[in-house]
Every structure is written in structure tokens, then in C-alpha cells.
Chains A and B, each alone.
Chain A
Amino acid sequence: MAKHPNRKQFRWHIIIFLMPAVLVYTTVMIYPLLATLWLSLFTEVDQTRVFVGLENFKTLFGESVWSDQFWNALVNNLWFFIIHMLVQNPIGIVLAAILSQSKLRFSSVYRSAIFVPTILSFVIVGFAWKLILSPIWGIAPGLLDAIGLKVLYAPWLGKEASALTALSLISVWQFVGIPMMLIYAALLSIPEEILEAAEVDGITGWSAFFKIKLPLILPSIGIISILTFVANFNAFDLIYAAQGALAGPDFSTDILGTFMYRTFFGFQLQLGDPHMGSAIASAMFGIILVGVCVYLFGIQSRMRRYQF
């Protein structure tokens, strides 16, 4: 199907249509991305840039001044991700499963309400929860008291052992709406005939959910997982808003995003170091790339056969 019979003339309009997007995208996204990877191979000596190869990465992974912080941030980031996978996505799936029941009244009201935290900025979410969990204000202890569980209360955000988990759960609270919506959409797209056929065979309710719907929405669960992965390993705002750039108490909530920010931008007395910052960014890039590749080649390609 030749859309254009007039092949001799050079089609300038194609260039003109493509140019603005390609120009902005290349200069502000792709070039800086490559430049950052490139910068990570340099260091600054006497205010001049010196090529040092992979030296920065050796320092980052091996010298305890840097590597302690790096591995701490990476492990924290992994925990952050695990909590999202174990709490956010299952809750999202369950909510979507309940919402997708036919003839459920007010389902759009519930959907819109549950999505509200997702639209709020991290600044609002971080501070709001900081206030609510604060021992000074007493909302959290008061609520726990009301159900007779006051003993369980602790200033979670201020304790090293619980701060990261508490922040992860706050982030889960904020973003549960996204898996809920995507799974809801996937559940609605399952053809009615399949469910009717199952009903004839006596498979209904929760067993229909586990035996028929769940396998059919696996591709969407895969998409949610990779979206969660990329978002988590690139997170910064919530930790910064709630705990500051130092990701306290004592770096217990430090993740790669906050670590990179402190390193390249500097904070308090530490000067910014763009080269080490680039090295951390490159490490994050590597992690995200591995995750995306695992998804594309390991998960998504195998799931294709489930789609209709």
C-alpha cells in the first residue's frame, strides 16, 4: 500500500513533523543520559576533568567511605521494592477484583476515592503522614487506643528499625490506585463468554477468580511489576519530603535517589561531586536496565500466549 505515489520528490514535511520532538528528546533526555554515563568515567583534579576509567565505580562499590552508603542505599531500595510488591500490588489486585464484580453499586465512587492519594504530591503525603504518625499530635496513638492496641504504637518514622518500612507503606498507601486501575481495566477486558462457559461448569466466585481471571490478567501483573520496579529504583521525593536529604534516622531510609542527590548536589558542608553522582546514576541506570530486560525477555515474551 504505497501511501505516497510521488516518490521522487524529497518529502521535507516528514523531517519537519519529526524534528521538534526528536530535537527536544535528544538534547534534553538522550544526550544528558549518555553524558551522565560518560561523566562517571571522569574525576576532578585541580579544577580540571581527568579521565579515570572505571575508578569511580571501584570507589563506589569497594571503598568503605562510599560503598557502605551505596550498599546501604541499595539494600534499602530493595526492601522498598519488596514491600511494594508484597503489599501494594496484592491490595490493588484484590480491590480491582471486588470492583469488577458486575452490578456492584457505587463502584465508580469507590474507584475515584481510592485513587485520590495517587494524585497528591509527595510533599503533601510525606508531611501529612509525618504529622499523623507524630507522637506529639497523637492521632495515631489515639486511634490505636480506640481499638485497644495502644501498646503497639511507636514513633515509627523516628526509629531506625521501622522508618523505612513505615515510609514504604506510606508510599504503598499513595500508589495503590495505579495497580487497582490497571488490573480493573484488564479484568473488564476478559470476554464475557469465557466467564459464562466457566459458570456452566460450576466455576464461580473466588474460584473463578483464581482459576480463570488471574491467569488471564498475568500480563497486566507483569506490567505493574515492571512499573513498580522502575518507579521504586528511581524514587526520591517521598523520602526527601518526609526525612530530608539525610534520609534519617542515621541513613536508615536512604535509597539510591536520595544518595545520588546528596552526592552530586551536595548538602550542608559536603560539596557536590558530579562525577561520583554520575557513577551512582549509572549504577541506577544499570539496575533499571536489568529489570526492564528481565521483564521484556524473561516475562513478557512468555506471557504473550495468554493474550487474546
Chain B
Amino acid sequence: MHKPSQNRLNTYAAHGALMLYTLIALFPVFVIVMNSFKTRKAIFREPLALPDGDSFSLIGYETVLKQGDFFLYFQNSMIVTVGSLFFILLFGAMAAFALAEYRFKGNMIMGLYLALGIMIPIRIGTVAILELMVQTGLVNTLWALILVYTAQGLPLAVFILSEFIRQVSDELKDAGRIDGLSEYRIFFRLVLPLVRPAMATVAVFNMIPIWNDLWFPLILAPAEEVKTLTLGSQVFIGQFVTDWNAVLSALSLAILPVMALYIIFSRQLIRGITSGAVK
């Protein structure tokens, strides 16, 4: 049996290892954000020092806000992310309800068909997606991105949501039917409110990959007025490589919204992952 002193030693070792790794994980972010508030001279002379009265400067942020249209990019990212999540959740829940609730011919095959996309990345079809978007005139519109992300998110959404919808009690739905509610009302009024936690999990899983995607904005919507924040900062930083103040500030500005999202939703995200929704 273990002696208490050895137990304490173990605890110290555990904290030591975790702190070390936390440092590794956060250090780069910290260095970037910290240096974005410094003068060019201070960035190079003392990269690891906190900004003080002498070295504090917002010149990078001024350049970024003057040169790049970050508010527009932010707005575009917001529209694409929120729009895609809306359709993933609405269409996903409807399909999940159909698969979980009714027995019909082809139910099983439909479920498998929709599940195919969980493992196959949508990027493989990019060449034909681009042709499709060119033909339909959707290139360089936010709709192109919303459609692609919706298609990408649906398979996992249907899979997770149908697991949860199966757990909704039959009595409740049958009571609704006896009261004369239509199938649509049963879905929207009775079932949807009950699976809200599962919908939140799906939303959080999809949110960050959509917000951060570079591939589809680069290929489907590279025009200035529809650039997302991820693509916008990529292009901006590429143009200002030698202006370290501007690059560091642009990076910090790009970190800000995701960190905000993460702080708001991290509980939900971590609970979602650890509750085994993706087993």
C-alpha cells in the first residue's frame, strides 16, 4: 500500500507535468498578444518583456484598422457561422426526427447514407463543388459557404440528434397525437425543446471548424466583400509580413473572437466531448 507522502509526491508530479504542458500550450498565444502592444523596437529588443510605459504602442492596431476591413470580415464570418449552424440544426433535427420516430421502408439505408459523410471529408469533392457554385452563380457569395458547411455538418448532426430524439418518451408524443397535434407540431413543440442540450453540443462542435476554415473561403469566396475573418487575416498578414506591429496586431485581433466564443461555450464544448456524444 502507498504511503501518504508518496501520494503527495505523485500529486506534485501531476501538477508539475500539467503546468508545464499548460505553459507550452499558452506561451505562443501569450507572446503574440503581449508583443502586439509594443513598439517595434521593444518587440525585437525585449520580446519576452511585458509592455511598459516606454514600450507601449498601439501603432500595429492603427495600421490594421486603417488598412484591413476587419469589421466587414468579422461580419461575414458571423453570417456564415450563424447561418450554417441554423441550417445544420434545423435540417439535421428534422431528418433525425424522421429517422428516429417513424418506421418506413429505407429508414436504415437512409440513416447509413447520411452517416457516410461523417468519415469522408467534403474537401475531396472541392473541384466539383467549385464547378457547381460557378454554374449556379453562387461563387463569391456567402451562400456558397453556408451551403457547404451545412452539408458538411449534417451527417454528424443527424447521427447525434437521432440518438437523443430516440430517448424522448413515446407517451409524450402519443399524448400530443391524441390531443390532435399534427406531426409537425409534435416535432417543433414537444421534441425540439427536449433535445436542446444535444443541439447545443452539435452547434458547439460545428462552430469552431466553420469559423476557422481557410480552404473553402479561399476557393469559393475570395472576393474582398465576402472574405471571412480567417481568410482576411491570412491575406492581410501575407501583405504586411515585414510590418511586425501590424502582423502581431492582426493575429491578436483574430485570436480575440475565437477566445470569446471559447470562454462563452467552453463548458458546453467540454461537456459535449466528455459526455461521449461522439463515440
Contacts and interface: CB of A to CB of B under 8 A. Distances in A.
B251 interface: yes
Contacts of A119: 208, 212, 258-259, 261-262
Given A121-B258, A205-B2, A189 B120 contact: no
A21 B31 contact: no
A36 B152 CA distance: 16
Contacts of A139: 31, 47-48
A36 B262 contact: no
A95 B155 CA distance: 30
Contact of B104 (A11, A91, A236): A11
A284 B124 contact: yes
Contact of A18 (B98, B117, B155, B262): B98
A24 interface: yes
Contact of B14 (A101, A176, A281): A101
B32 A128 contact: yes
A292 B1 CA distance: 44
A241 interface: yes
A21 B28 contact: no
B233 interface: yes
Interface in A16-56: 16-18, 20-22, 24-25, 27-33, 35-36, 39
B214 interface: yes
A271 interface: no
A131 B249 CA distance: 13
A3 B44 contact: no
Contacts of A131: 32, 244, 247-248
B92 interface: yes
B126 A264 contact: yes
A273 to B, nearest CB: 10
B33 to A, nearest CB: 10
A190 interface: no
Q: Interface residues of B toward A: which range?
A: 35 or more
B56 interface: no
B139 interface: no
Interface residues of A, number: 92
Contacts of B261: 119
A153 to B, nearest CB: 14
Contacts of A188: 274
A3 B184 CA distance: 16
Contacts of A91: 21
Interface in B15-73: 15, 17-19, 21-22, 24-26, 28-29, 31-32, 43-44, 47-48
Nearest to A138: B47
Contact of A281 (B11, B18, B127): B127
B273 interface: yes
B119 A230 contact: yes
Contacts, number: 264
Contacts of B211: 121
B91 interface: yes
B270 A181 contact: yes
A94 B182 CA distance: 52
Nearest to B276: A185
A205 B13 CA distance: 13
A144 interface: no
Contacts of A156: none
Contact of A184 (B91, B122, B244, B274): B274
Interface string A106-129: 101011111111011111100111
A120 B254 CA distance: 9
A173 B131 contact: no
A2 B101 CA distance: 11
Interface string B69-80: 000000000000
Contact of A21 (B2, B14, B132, B154): B154
A45 B11 CA distance: 69
A4 interface: yes
A36 B127 contact: yes
B158 interface: yes
A185 B274 contact: yes
A205 B261 CA distance: 37
A29, A226, A278, A292 — most chain B CB neighbours (10 Å): A29
Contacts of B193: none
Nearest to A286: B124
A104 interface: yes
Nearest to A293: B119
Contacts of B187: 17
Given A36-B128, A39-B128, A28 B151 contact: yes
A122 B215 CA distance: 11
Given A14-B102, A177-B25, 14 more contacts: A4-B103, A20-B95, A27-B132, A32-B126, A32-B132, A114-B18, A121-B230, A123-B212, A127-B237, A173-B25, A205-B2, A230-B119, A230-B121, A265-B219
30 contacts: A3-B103, A16-B94, A17-B187, A18-B94, A20-B91, A24-B150, A25-B117, A25-B155, A28-B151, A30-B113, A33-B120, A33-B122, A33-B125, A35-B128, A95-B21, A104-B15, A108-B270, A112-B270, A119-B208, A119-B212, A119-B262, A123-B237, A123-B254, A127-B247, A132-B31, A136-B44, A137-B44, A182-B273, A257-B215, A281-B124
6 closest residue pairs by CB, A with B: A32-B125, A35-B128, A121-B212, A21-B95, A32-B128, A17-B98
